Chain A
Amino acid sequence: MSGPSSLPTTVATGAPQQAEAAQSQVQEMTYAEAIREALREEMRRDPRVFLMGEDIGIYGGAFGVTYGLIDEFGEERVRDTPISEAALAGCAIGAALTGMRPVAEFQFSDFMAIGMDQIVNQGAKLRFMFGGKAQVPVVFRAPLGSGTGAAAQHSQSLEAWFAHVPGLKVVLPSTPADVKGLLLSAIRDPNPVIFLEHKLLYRYKGPVPRGEWTVPIGQAEVKRPGKDLTIIALSIMVPRALAVAERLAEEGIEAEVVDPRTLRPLDEETLIASARKTGRVLIVHEAVLTGGFGGEIAARIAASEAFYYLDAPILRLGGAETPIPYNRTLERRATPQEEDIYQAARRLLQRRPL
């Protein structure tokens, strides 16, 4: 598997970290390597940072993301746990509450359901319940999404569950550069951060700034500018939307692709500005449509001043109302593919102005 042939256009946001990093060295690497690099750099920089999770040591994690880190940092800081997700989540929270900076890995985001009480009822709320007198600087990393034939219990996209919980931050990076920059920000953040990595993205390649490179949590990015329609895409849908934008460009249509990158806190200004500019909005995510985060994005745009600039109703594309099937054909059918996004964009463009 390889990433998109054309790398996303990065639009300068003027953030100081990014300006600084522009001068530093850039290296081509995979999304998984970018995560590993972020972990390695932060563990070298901050002795409080450590990793815990199932099979993350010698095995290197189910997707090989932490491979080799145990050689540099040892088994104290790259800590294999038994298959005990509730204890994994709670243990990371307890360590974070008392001065450490744990990064806990769940083998699949589906298994976060087992640790859900700890994440949602404990980690997310301790600071608030304690009157703002505690900090829980923990990162929960987990792969999400379908496309690997792992069927219904290993393929979900549950980001909306977490985005519904005040106290959590929720991040879904879509490029190697973003995953590194956002992971460094997540580890340094004093709050619990849910860090969701699409498993198909692990092998995508892209340019990644070496050394200090952070992407602020809560900042969307225009991955490709355009004027005819806006495609707001989450996670794996970003490269798919960019490929569709390329195809549309050949037909003379300029699609703007926007990646929220963070769901909580949501950078609605960037999304609203794009909607206002193009007047047509397509929202795409892999998560099941009903209750999916696209509904929240659509509502924010519809409730904003961008409403008066819309030339067509906001269109949402999401996963089918089914668990993810095993069969390859059915699995592809269950989530938006490039062709689906292309057809949806076409439909949206055909709608006459209101």
Chain B
Amino acid sequence: MSEAVPALSPEQMRSLLQTMYRIRAFEEKVDELFMRGEVHGTTHLSIGEEATAAGALQALRPDDYITSTHRGHGHCISKGADLKLMMAELLGKETGYCRGRGGSMHIADVASGNLGANGVVGGGIPIATGVGLSIKMQGLDRVCLCFFGDGAANEGTFHESINLAAIWDLPVIFLCENNQYGMSMSVRKAMRCETIAQRAVAYGIPGERVDGNDVFAVYEAVARAAARARAGQGPTLIEAVTYRYKGHSKSDQNRYRTRDEIRAWQERDPIKRLTAYLREHSLMTQEEIEREEAAAYQAIEEAYQFALASPEPDPDSLLEGVYA
């Protein structure tokens, strides 16, 4: 973990742990539901990447915006989403955040500033830039946090959008979750440069690489970027280095990496590291930590029960929402 003690209160640290447990519990439940065939379509799990989502959102205010990715459950939970409405959306229910129209890849809660997951790699980056422009033109004291992956860093939208945000000094934080693979393609094979963060130089903005499995490091980097954005100093590119334990989606056979590699990353598990810190600094006892973990799984089970009991959309409502 970061050597410097983060500027977080014990309550905030407990809240981080709660969020990370909730993400993991949610993802595990979703994995189980897909295995059992209870939900159709596909899903992209972020187990192992919890620190990036939780740490980043801890550094923002409730009225800030986020744009998310196809691997976005963690972002959504960290933004404070209602787990019941999330689970209902995954089960395609009318009570879901998007009335069952979007599913896992399109969960959004525009009213709370969550501008949606995105099924297109790099699709949300220009949108986040537009949100930054909107904030600036309206004179609001907000920022937009744009999540994307290492795969998206090779999309044209990445380059076009960061350049645009840079020339206009927009209050956007471009947060790359580098989980090492774009589906099966290793980031080392997908680009010649050493880091994604160094690409910031090309746009004349700060770029920073952090340990994405260290929740405090992510928190601090995003807090610095948010302060810059709020001060009118423009965007920042942050690369959070992390790892996904599960496959890209449910079709993934893990042929492109070894079990040893996965195990090595699991040694640096973000939740293990946070709980170790909390114990070592006597901020939480093992018992309290276990209570927190159990509460998360309990909350997810309640969300699942809510979703199960929720109604399906009325087939006659098919065309609702196409146009305003």
Residues of A at the B interface (CB closer than 8 Å) are: 50, 76, 81-82, 84, 86-87, 89-100, 102, 117-118, 121-122, 126-135, 137, 166-167, 169, 190-191
Q: 5 closest pairs, A vs B, by CB?
A: A90-B126, A94-B130, A132-B321, A87-B160, A131-B99
Contact of A100 with B137 in the complex, beta carbons under 8 Å: yes
Contact of A131 with B138 in the complex, beta carbons under 8 Å: no
Q: Which residues of A contact B115 (CB under 8 A)?
A: 94, 97-98, 134
A118 vs B126: C-alpha distance when bound (angstroms): 8
Contact of B108 with A87 in the complex, beta carbons under 8 Å: no
Contact of B161 with A98 in the complex, beta carbons under 8 Å: no
Given contacts A130-B116, A191-B323, contact A86 B164 (CB under 8 A): no
Complex: chain A residue closest to B103, CB-CB: A129
Q: Any chain A CB within 8 A of the CB of B102?
A: yes
Given contacts A131-B101, A191-B324, contact A92 B111 (CB under 8 A): no
Interface residues in B97-113 by Cβ distance below 8 A to A read 97-102, 106, 108-111
A226 vs B106: C-alpha distance when bound (angstroms): 50
Could you give 17 example pairs across A and B, Cβ below 8 Å?
A82-B163, A86-B126, A87-B157, A90-B127, A90-B161, A91-B164, A92-B130, A93-B127, A97-B130, A100-B134, A122-B126, A126-B108, A127-B321, A130-B110, A130-B321, A131-B101, A190-B324
Contact of B123 with A118 in the complex, beta carbons under 8 Å: yes
Q: Which residues of B contact A129 (CB under 8 A)?
A: 98, 101-102, 106, 108, 116
A152 vs B52: C-alpha distance when bound (angstroms): 47
A189 vs B135: C-alpha distance when bound (angstroms): 21
Interface residues in B276-299 by Cβ distance below 8 A to A read none
Complex: chain B residue closest to A104, CB-CB: B130
A118 vs B127: C-alpha distance when bound (angstroms): 8
A306 vs B221: C-alpha distance when bound (angstroms): 67
Contact of B126 with A133 in the complex, beta carbons under 8 Å: no
Nearest chain A CB to B154 CB, angstrom units: 14
Nearest chain B CB to A219 CB, angstrom units: 16
Contact of A95 with B133 in the complex, beta carbons under 8 Å: yes
Contact of B99 with A98 in the complex, beta carbons under 8 Å: no
Contact of B133 with A94 in the complex, beta carbons under 8 Å: yes
Q: Any chain A CB within 8 A of the CB of B261?
A: no
Nearest chain B CB to A165 CB, angstrom units: 10
Nearest chain B CB to A136 CB, angstrom units: 8
A117 vs B131: C-alpha distance when bound (angstroms): 18
Nearest chain B CB to A190 CB, angstrom units: 4
What is the total of A-B residue contacts with beta carbons within 8 Å? Answer: 151
Q: Any chain A CB within 8 A of the CB of B322?
A: yes
Looking at B108, B115, B123, B133, the one whose CB has the most chain A CB atoms below 10 A away is B133
Interface residues in B72-115 by Cβ distance below 8 A to A read 96-102, 106, 108-111, 115
For the complex, count residues of B whose C-beta is within 8 A of A: 46
Contact of B127 with A134 in the complex, beta carbons under 8 Å: no
A133 vs B123: C-alpha distance when bound (angstroms): 19
Q: A91, A122, A130, A191: which contacts B98 (Cβ < 8 A)? A: A130
Contact of A131 with B127 in the complex, beta carbons under 8 Å: no
Complex: chain B residue closest to A96, CB-CB: B130
Complex: chain B residue closest to A85, CB-CB: B160
Contact of B138 with A94 in the complex, beta carbons under 8 Å: no
Q: A94, A99, A127: which contacts B322 (Cβ < 8 A)? A: A127
Contact of A167 with B323 in the complex, beta carbons under 8 Å: yes
A82 vs B129: C-alpha distance when bound (angstroms): 14
Q: Which residues of B contact A91 (CB under 8 A)?
A: 126-127, 129-130, 133, 161, 164
Q: Which residues of B contact A118 (CB under 8 A)?
A: 123, 126-127, 157
Contact of A99 with B134 in the complex, beta carbons under 8 Å: yes
Nearest chain A CB to B89 CB, angstrom units: 8
Looking at A76, A98, A127, the one whose CB has the most chain B CB atoms below 10 A away is A98
